[in-house]
Every structure is written in structure tokens, then in C-alpha cells.
Chains A and B, each alone.
Chain A
Amino acid sequence: MSRKQRVEPSGDLLEVSGLEVEAGGRTILHPTDLNLGAGEWKAIVGPNGAGKSTLLKALATLVPYRGSIRYRGRPISEAPLAYRSELGVVLHEPLLYRELSAWENLLFYARLYGVAEPHAAAQQALAEVGLSVYAQEPVGRFSRGMIQRLALARAMLHQPRLLLLDEPLSGIDARGEEEILKLFRRAKEAQVAALWVTHRWRVAWEIVDEIVELERGAVRRITRTAGVDRESWEPSYLEEGAR
């Protein structure tokens, strides 16, 4: 059984209602409701093309959407900068400049986010993802896993309160994965909330409170992980495939 420590949500940090995304005349995400409390982690699972990444991009205000997103009780359109200052995002693309070193990338983002001590923040972020010794290396020479770690460092550099993570462990080796999971546990203990898109729900299980299944752009099922056996649980799209 998992060693889960439940953190009870302390009111809704993020309230999403009727969130809908269209692209090229096609509905990618049907009206979706979702709530997330401080310190609450939810995994988003589903087959390819289910709308998982689109959901995160809409929440990151990177694609046009319809519906309501409220953060700390206020529509994000009323205070977009305050919302983005508390948001850390890892997408499929690392959003890093391959020509620049890891250090230069993080320093750029630290300054852009207005971090009080950008050098110290960049140093700490590199240390947390185990890349301190590669600080001066150009990102273009990094392996996929190292780039993913640096993308995480970029996302967490400004101490966000809400993380939107799209396959954050992709390409990371087993030892690195354990380090990143420790980082996630610490973030959760510090009441940071997260939506974590993943195909590896068994790895996420230890940390997340709920698993939200998306299929064809709509929420199919929500499972509270507490009290459910990780080994016997399967996403519905896999269960149906097996039948």
C-alpha cells in the first residue's frame, strides 16, 4: 500500500467551471468543472488526444478558452499578473533556450518573474533538481531527462503556489525520478497545489489525492486515491480496452 499522507484541502485555491476550448472549429475540451484546494494534488490521466495538455494550457492562459477560472476566489481575468505570479508550469516543450546555459536560462526567468534574489534563486533551483554541476553547460548539450529537470527548476524558481505539470517525469532516470518525487512531496507539504498530467498514475499515486480521468475532452471519472488499492486500479479507458 502507498505511504500516503493526506493533506486536507483548505478551501478552493482554483475553481474551474464550464471550461471549454475549441481549435479549428473542433471542441478539444468540453465544458469542464474542476476544483483544487491549497496543498491538493490531482493527477489528470487519459488516452492520447483526451484534452489533458489543452486543459493545462487553458489554465496557464496560453490558449483561448470559454468558461470561468477563479483563483483565490477571483476571476483570473481580473488579476492575471497575480495569478501568473503564483503559477508554475511544465509543458511538453521545455520553454528553454538551448543556446543559453542552464544558469543563463534560470537567471533570465528569475529576473522576468521579479524574484528578489535571482542569483540565489537560480542556484537553489539548480541544486534542487541536481543540475548544479552542469550550470554553465549550454542546454543544447543536455539529455532529455536533464532538460526536463531544468524545465522543472524553471517552473519552481519563483516559489509558485499552483503547479501545472504535463508529464514532468518524462525522460528522467530512476534516481532522478526519486529526487523529483521528493521535491513534489516537499512542495505538497508546503501547501503547493498541483494538476499533474501523467500516463504513469502508479508513480503519481503516492502524492496525488485524486485521479481525474479525461476522455474525448470530458471528465469521465474521478477517483479519490485514499483507501483505494493502487495495484488494482486501472483507468477506465484501459479497462474497456482489456474487455
Chain B
Amino acid sequence: MKAYLRAVLTLARKDALLERKSLETVTATASFTLLVAVLFHFAFDIRSAEGARFFPGALWIAVLFAGTIGMARSARIDEVEGRGRGPALAPVDRSALFLGKFLFHLVLMLLVEGVAVPVFIAAFALRGVALPHLFIAGLVLGTWGFVALGTLLAGATSGERSTGLLLPLVLFPLLTPVALGGVAIVTAAVTGDVTPATGTWLRLLLVFDVLFTAVPALLYESVLEV
């Protein structure tokens, strides 16, 4: 188990090192997210009362689109000269390859969200978030499920010439529960209007996260065609 965890961390650290050298993925995802915040701000002439209504949907749209761009790019890096095969030769269960990539994507997206959320709050003229803990829980659980499924599908489509087009087409329909749940929880956290449905969405996201982390880990070997 210790060796397995060490392999997962080593793989995630390698991706972080590659990213630190280029900063391409973080720049692309952060720029896209911030651009959405600015566009929404000017397009809808948002004032405080309306801001709370639009904020959750706009935030999730930005996160999902920016994350998809980032994961597609990250998966393509491993396609260059077939170098994703190198780690597949190592004496570790190949599910570690998925979890290492997933961990890197998750940390990257949470960092981007850490920068984007204050900007979105300002752009949507919110005075703050009524229930910060619920807000963080909703954002983290939603991002977790999105990144887990996205990592699997980005890996599966990375060999295709039209990855950039194919990934969102395959990914977004499957992400419907994450998008709906994420928006519902963030709305409840921003307005402070918690209903029994909020708890149901939290549980649903949790189940989605566990399922879409465990299943891809088991499937990743066949996804890589190794």
C-alpha cells in the first residue's frame, strides 16, 4: 500500500513539475475562468440581488469548461512520443497512473478555483457567502467528480486527432448530475436557503465521486490500451 501511494504521489509530482516548467495548463484554465467572470459581469450588468441568482451557474460553467481544456491538454502531454507508456512499464498497479493524473488535475483545479472564486464574488457583486463550509463542500465534491470522470475520458480520447472537440461531447452529458448538484449546493450556500434537497445533492455528489474514482481506476489499463 505504501509503495502504491508513493507511486501515485510520484506520478502527480511529475505532472506538477512539468506544469511548473511550462505553466501552460494553469495559465489557460485560470485565464478562461477569469474571462468568463468578466464577460458575465459586463454582459448582464449584474447588481447584488441578481448576482446571487447567476453566480452559481456562471461559476460552474467556468469551472467545467476551463477544467476540460486543462485536462485535454494534460492528457495530450502523455501522448507525445508515446511517453505515457514509460510509467506503464513500472512495477505498480496501472490504476496508480489514473490516480496520479487525477490527483494532479484535482489540485490544479482547486488552485484555479481558489483564485477564481473571489473574482466571481466581486464580478457578481456578492457581499459574501452565507454558508462558507457548505460552499467549500459543494465546490470540492463537484470538482472531485468532474475531475475523476474528466481524467478517464481525457485519457481515452487523447489519442484522437480531435480530442479538444471529442472530450466535451463525451464528458458533459455524463456530468449532468455534477453540474446540477454543484449549482444546487452553491446556490444554497450563497443564499443560506438550505432545504432537504441540499442534503440529497450532497449525498448524490459523494456517491458519484466514489463511483467515478473507483471505476476509472479499474478501467484505466484498458483505456491506455496497455
Residues of A within 8 A of B (CB): 60-64, 81-85, 87, 89, 91, 93-100, 104, 108-109, 111-114, 154
Contact = CB atoms under 8 A, between A and B. Distances in A.
Interface in B1-56: 3, 6-7, 10-11, 14, 17-18, 21-22
A112 B85 CA distance: 13
Contact of A96 (B86, B89, B92, B93): B86
Given A61-B226, A99-B22, A112 B3 contact: no
B169 interface: no
Contacts, number: 69
A64 B83 contact: no
Contacts of B14: 97, 100, 108
A95 B91 contact: no
Contact of B89 (A64, A89, A100, A108): A89
A152 to B, nearest CB: 13
A152 B75 CA distance: 25
Contacts of B87: 112
Given A61-B226, A112-B87, A114-B7, 20 more contacts: A62-B85, A81-B91, A81-B93, A83-B91, A84-B91, A89-B89, A93-B83, A94-B81, A95-B81, A98-B80, A100-B14, A100-B18, A109-B86, A111-B6, A112-B7, A112-B11, A112-B90, A113-B90, A113-B91, A114-B92
B112 to A, nearest CB: 21
A95 B21 contact: no
Contacts of B86: 95-96, 109, 154
B117 interface: no
A93 B81 contact: yes
Contacts of B225: 63-64
A100 B21 contact: yes
Interface string B182-226: 000000000000000000000000000000000000000000011
Contacts of B226: 61-63
A54 B3 CA distance: 30
A51 B7 CA distance: 32
B212 to A, nearest CB: 25
A62 B89 contact: yes
Contacts of B90: 84, 109, 112-113
A85 B3 CA distance: 13
Contacts of B21: 99-100
A98 B81 CA distance: 10
CB-CB nearest 9 A-B residue pairs: A95-B86, A85-B91, A84-B91, A93-B82, A81-B91, A111-B10, A93-B81, A112-B90, A99-B21
Nearest to B90: A112
A111 B90 CA distance: 10
